[in-house]
Amino acid sequence: KIVEAHGAFHKGHCIKCNKEFSQDWIKEIIFKDEVPTCDCGGFVKPDIVFFGENLPERFFKCMQTDFAKCDLLIILGTSLVVQPFASLIDKVGQDCPRLLINMEKAGVSSR
């Protein structure tokens, strides 16, 4: 199961009426130097978490229900410094292999 904690760019939604828009439509508008706007007048935002926004509810639900059953934990793109990501490696069983993929050195050597 893949849980995109910070979302993804493959679609977006109107922040007013929640209508869904494709990545291609959003890119087309942005590349014309325009702001993606819905028919209702609301702005269309990619389905990603910006600084200061809450992580998706699905992330927290999956963390509660799936980590106990996890047989391989793959974590991508985090320094393991900021919560809740810093504690993810401790949420799975002791015998569960963990793979961290990051562009820079991350984590704590004792873990």
Look up 6 and say whether it is catalytic: yes
Peptide bond before 84: cis, by omega within 30 degrees of 0?
Answer: yes
The active-site residue out of 1, 4, 5, 6 is: 6
Q: What are phi and psi of 95, to 5 degrees?
A: -90, 0
Annotated catalytic residues are 6
